[in-house]
Amino acid sequence: MADDNNNNNNADNNDSNFPYNPTLWAAYLFAVLYGIALLWHLGQAIRYRTGFIVEAIKKITTLWPIVISQTGVIVAPAFLAAQDYMIIGRIMSYVGKEYGYINHTRITKIFVGADIAAILTQASGGSMLSGNNMDSMRVGQKILLGGLALQVITFGIFAFVAISFDVRSYRAPALRPFQREMQGMRKLWIAFYISSVLITARSIYRTVEFAGVKFNPGGDDPAGYLLNHEWPMYIFDAIPVLISVLFFAFWHPGNYLPATKGLRIDGTWEEIPGRRRFICCGRRKPAKKRPDETYPNSSVALASMAV
């Protein structure tokens, strides 16, 4: 309790932009750890050519650096959720879309689209909280809570879709000949489950934090225990997100999934409709089969299907 009082008193007596006195050594430590994780992921993305999981937040803004920092911290896990959507979509494409209730191509459209909406909502609400107008900050609080709630609900629905696919593909007799490949998928599923729990817990923490913020009349700064104390941010935000990032670095999807989209676990190629059109890219051509390439498990899959 004494430390908390000192923390708050020090925050009132310095020029910090935060509602508490920041611990510099902890900020430097996590900056280094996240920097290492970033370089690790970038190196693996280049090595495995997995551009579909590269995440970046590059926003050009004229707001204060503190607004950029706080907004980036708030919306960053939404980009991790988008990464999970893309990875699970590629797993579905590789293992077999017939084991899912939703086609993996629709996952990108539905869940990534909802995630983008959550990111924009959280970013706009978070930027409105960094101001002096109490009415504007109250509106920003509601917008931010709506974005966080949208992220939690969307991710919960996606988790159900992903778990159902995992269970059905795990029990599928046709995939038993591909034990080595499925073992690699199991590592990715473990990383996904850990990432899902941590991202959801972090989102719940942020929802509780901003829901508990009180705006005092008279122009005083907003108050709230989680908002005015530094340690919950590291325990419930920085550490869970870092663990989520590191698990996909240890078990990188590029080490278990093919770099070429459309290749299935049995060596065949998924048929991609060629009538879809994109504004920037024109007509999408169907994936071409490669008769000159052979895969050791193709004959096993065909033999099991014949039986």
According to the per-residue pLDDT averaged within each range, which of 47-51, 224-228, 285-289 is highest? 224-228
Task: Name which of 12-16, 88-92, 106-110 the model is least confident about.
Answer: 12-16
**Residue 10 parent element (H or E):** helix 2-12
Strand partners, 263: 269
pTM of this structure: 0.68
Mean pLDDT, to the nearest integer, of 106-122?
Answer: 83
- Over the stretch 44-93, which tens digit does the pLDDT of each residue have? 777 666 655 443 333 333 334 545 566 667 777 777 888 888 889 899 98
Strand partners, 277: 283
Burial of 215 from C-beta contacts in 10 A (0-12 / 13-18 / 19+): middle
Q: Which of 72, 78, 60, 204 is nearest to 130 (CA)?
A: 72
- Over the stretch 135-144, which tens digit does the pLDDT of each residue have? 788 888 888 8
- Which backbone phi and psi does 278 adopt, to 5 degrees? -120, 145
- Over the stretch 155-182, which tens digit does the pLDDT of each residue have? 999 999 999 999 999 999 999 999 999 9
From the CB of residue 25, how many other CB atoms can be counted at a distance below 10 Å?
Answer: 8
From the CB of residue 140, how many other CB atoms can be counted at a distance below 10 Å?
Answer: 20
Mean pLDDT, to the nearest integer, of 20-36?
Answer: 80
